[in-house]
Structure 1
Amino acid sequence: MKYIVCEKPGEFSLKEKEAPVRKKNEALLKINKVGICGTDLHAYAGNQAFFTYPRILGHELASEVIEIEDNERNIKTGDKVVVMPYLSCGKCIACRNGKTNCCTNISVLGVHGDGGMQEFITVPVNILLPANNLSFDEMAIVEPLAIGAHAIRRAAIVKDEFVVVIGCGPIGIGIMKLAQIQGAKVIALDMNIDRLNYAKQEIGVDYIVNASDNPIKKIEDITNGELATAVFDASGNKHALEAGPNYMAHGGRFVLVGLSKGELTYTHPAVHAKEMTLMCSRNATTEDFEYVISVIDQFPTDSFVTHSVPFTEMISNFDSWLKPENGVIKATVNF
């Protein structure tokens, strides 16, 4: 079978190897579509945390079951399945407390171990979710939307509160839509006017703010001077991460969804005065995946997936997906 491996930063290779053989408690899957996410882009660029090379990328997977044993979810050969790409130990303190998303021994497909940029893959049965009612495009975006769903659940978003989402990339867009579904009033913040316009026109956010044009004042105007009770960073940009508390109301929550490799600095009196709740949101749980599957019909999948190429053309197209001027929101690879 064919597979694509990231040998080192900036270098992909198309290779062949024997198809994997399913073991007990595993399923053999045929990969139909892989979504390209920020993790893949950063891995290729060489600035992704938790990463070693060589690595087969790909953890946003739309797949079909080729072989499987009897299982609790009644998934059968021929079923379409979404893969929850986080392999947790089930024994550590996080897992025992239901936080499998931040397992102390977590292994993420395409990050810590090889992912789905290959024709066939074997995975544990317990990370599969039935998805016969979804299109392949919808299946390939469940994982990034689940990351947003987990962040929304962490922040306990309530109806009619003001929410600022920093970053109109795929994760940020997902957070915006899911916050709307919860009834929040969403303010999108970014420096890319095309992304802001997409958030307004396709996602239907209530307000858009250009981060380069006095954003604090703009957000104060929108919120009658009170700022937002919840702020999400989906950019991973150090400057944006450090600026987040400036957009947050007293008593508010700041949720770090984007990941930066470096240190962050906050002025203690300023964040202390607001009694800021600072929380990180990592990956997602089965509950988040199931929720996204239940509401994905409310998401504009057709406009969200902007670029799609055959598997054999992925390497020649990948560099172009790194360029903002090409208007990529979500790129996918078809098998």
Structure 2
Amino acid sequence: MGPTIKVVRCAEPARLMFEEQQAPGTPPEGWALINVAYVGICGTDYHIFEGRHPYLAYPRVMGHEVSGTIAAINAPVDLSVGEQILVNPYFACGNCAACRQGKPNCCMSIEVLGVHRDGAMSEQVLVPAQNLIPAAGLSPVEAATVEFLAIGAHAVRRSMAGPGIRTLVIGAGPIGLGTALFARIAQLNVTVMDVDAERLAFAARQLGFLVIDGSKGSIVETIAERTAGAGFDVVFDATGNSRSMQSAFAYVAHGGVMVMVSVVPDDITFSDPEFHKREMMLIGSRNATRGDFQHVIASIRAGKIPIDRLVTHRTTLRDSPRDIAIWAQQKSGLIKAVVDVAGSG
């Protein structure tokens, strides 16, 4: 027998409409009911699982990296029942200043599936039809990786860097590796830095990146040696560590760019004279847009992203409480984990 979990909800008003006001099996207007196939697990989910997420009200159903098929749809969109899709988990208002500028990823009242609303760690989930993206040509597992890769793709686009630019990605976790992969696709000259020897070995041997071990010697001196004393033209920090983010300012070349991919609850401080002397550009990067999702999908279809190497761990919906608890503490060998929801029986 399969698991008894059966959650069909995103927001309370939508759930009530679905249960009380619609014909049986018909989602509310503008919404779609999804049969969930796979859900990816990221650092956010581990923090939620452990009760350490600072921006979340419990209880909460996790799951924002979602692939599946359409079970029912009630919207005038070019999608049909049975079609394979993935979900853009960023629900935007469509009316605020950011949305009017085409930046729904940083909507002033954004709600993220699995964070602000109950997510897809369930057999089915109800989502706005406008947040569905066709996933033809991708496997269900590949489709579930698109969201986390889109964060890196968005960060690279935000950097505005061109081919050949000397680039440092700090942090060899899933987001950092995704950023590095899309920086390479953009023809940037990429080096990856971390303090974890195992993840550095993965970045070098499995993905072919030049690496810097941040746990050894003086990082500033190492970077000076690698860049003829100039520093990197673009630095991405994807560590989620405030000390790393503050230190990264010293690695940026004069006239260079620093992109903060991570977000932390702490204040970040830096030397204003150094910042101005270098005429640095500091850029925040949040979530991703539909265009970034499409870029990731095209890159996977073209064989430019080695999903089979990135997905290192798998579990089922039934076993996920046990396995997520283990993975939250034991990171050895772990890059990306996915939950097989459809095959959980």
User: What TM-score comes out, normalization by structure 1 length?
Assistant: 0.92
Choose from 39, 57, 65 the match for 1:52.
Answer: 57
Report the CA distance between 1:45 and its aligned residue: 2.8
Q: Equivalences for 1:183-262 in 2 at 5 Å?
A: 183-205=187-209, 207-213=210-216, 214-262=218-266
Paired AA for residue 35 in structure 1: G
Q: Equivalences for 1:107-126 in 2 at 5 Å?
A: 107-126=111-130
Give the corresponding residue for 1:66.
71
Paired AA for residue 316 in structure 1: R
Tell whether the 8 Å contact from 2:164 to 2:188 is kept in structure 1 after alignment: yes
Residue by residue over 1:105-145, the C-alpha shift from the partner in whole angstroms, topping out at 9 and shown as x without a partner, is 10000011111001001111101110021011111110011
Rounded Cα–Cα distance in structure 1 between residues aligned with 2:165 and 2:223: 13
Give the corresponding residue for 1:10.
none
SS at match of 1:123: strand
Rounded Cα–Cα distance in structure 1 between residues aligned with 2:116 and 2:270: 31
Report the CA distance between 1:21 and its aligned residue: 5.7
Task: Quickly say closer, same or farther: Cα 1:35–1:249, change in 2 above 3 A.
Answer: same
Choose from 283, 306, 313 the match for 2:312.
Answer: 306
SS at match of 2:338: strand
Shifted more, 47-56 versus 79-88: the winner is: 47-56
Shifted more, 309-318 versus 47-56: the winner is: 47-56
SS at match of 2:266: coil
Stretches of structure 1 lacking an aligned partner (at least 5 in a row):
5-17
Give the corresponding residue for 1:29.
34
Tell whether the 8 Å contact from 2:39 to 2:66 is kept in structure 1 after alignment: yes
Rounded Cα–Cα distance in structure 2 between residues aligned with 1:251 and 1:85: 35
Q: Equivalences for 1:104-143 in 2 at 5 Å?
A: 104-143=108-147
Rounded Cα–Cα distance in structure 2 between residues aligned with 1:195 and 1:268: 33
Paired AA for residue 81 in structure 1: I
- The alignment status of 1:273 with 2:254, answered yes or no, reads no
Paired AA for residue 320 in structure 1: I
SS at match of 1:298: coil
Rounded Cα–Cα distance in structure 1 between residues aligned with 2:51 and 2:211: 32
Rounded Cα–Cα distance in structure 1 between residues aligned with 2:328 and 2:214: 21
Q: Highest relative contact order (Cα 8 Å, sep 6+), 1 or 2? A: 2
SS at match of 2:253: strand
Rounded Cα–Cα distance in structure 2 between residues aligned with 1:204 and 1:20: 49
Choose from 84, 87, 100 the match for 2:104.
Answer: 100
Report the CA distance between 1:310 and its aligned residue: 1.1
Tell whether the 8 Å contact from 1:84 to 1:129 is kept in structure 2 after alignment: yes
Report the CA distance between 1:308 and its aligned residue: 0.2
Tell whether the 8 Å contact from 1:20 to 1:120 is kept in structure 2 after alignment: no
Paired AA for residue 66 in structure 1: A
Rounded Cα–Cα distance in structure 1 between residues aligned with 2:261 and 2:56: 18
Report the CA distance between 1:49 and its aligned residue: 3.3
Q: Equivalences for 1:284-303 in 2 at 5 Å?
A: 284-296=288-300, 297-303=303-309
- The alignment status of 1:150 with 2:154, answered yes or no, reads yes
Task: Quickly say closer, same or farther: Cα 1:21–1:64, change in 2 above 3 A.
Answer: same
Task: Quickly say closer, same or farther: Cα 1:3–1:321, change in 2 above 3 A.
Answer: farther
Stretches of structure 2 lacking an aligned partner (at least 5 in a row):
8-18
Residue by residue over 1:277-332, the C-alpha shift from the partner in whole angstroms, topping out at 9 and shown as x without a partner, is 11110001111101110101211111111110111000011122123553211011
Rounded Cα–Cα distance in structure 1 between residues aligned with 2:327 and 2:181: 23
> Structure 1 runs of 4+ off > 6 angstroms?
none
RMSD value over aligned CA atoms?
1.6
Tell whether the 8 Å contact from 2:30 to 2:75 is kept in structure 1 after alignment: no
Report the CA distance between 1:70 and its aligned residue: 5.5
Tell whether the 8 Å contact from 2:258 to 2:283 is kept in structure 1 after alignment: yes
What is the aligned length? 320
Report the CA distance between 1:3 and its aligned residue: 5.1
Paired AA for residue 56 in structure 2: F
Percentage of identical aligned residues: 39
Rounded Cα–Cα distance in structure 2 between residues aligned with 1:260 and 1:288: 23
SS at match of 1:116: coil
Tell whether the 8 Å contact from 1:145 to 1:171 is kept in structure 2 after alignment: yes
Tell whether the 8 Å contact from 2:26 to 2:72 is kept in structure 1 after alignment: no
Tell whether the 8 Å contact from 1:3 to 1:117 is kept in structure 2 after alignment: no
Rounded Cα–Cα distance in structure 2 between residues aligned with 1:61 and 1:215: 38
Tell whether the 8 Å contact from 1:21 to 1:122 is kept in structure 2 after alignment: no
Task: Quickly say closer, same or farther: Cα 1:325–1:96, change in 2 above 3 A.
Answer: closer
Task: Quickly say closer, same or farther: Cα 1:59–1:65, change in 2 above 3 A.
Answer: same
Residue by residue over 1:235-284, the C-alpha shift from the partner in whole angstroms, topping out at 9 and shown as x without a partner, is 11011111111111011111111111111111211222111111110001
Paired AA for residue 338 in structure 2: T
SS at match of 1:288: helix
Paired AA for residue 317 in structure 1: D
Report the CA distance between 1:44 and its aligned residue: 2.1
Paired AA for residue 329 in structure 1: I
User: What TM-score comes out, normalization by structure 2 length?
Assistant: 0.89
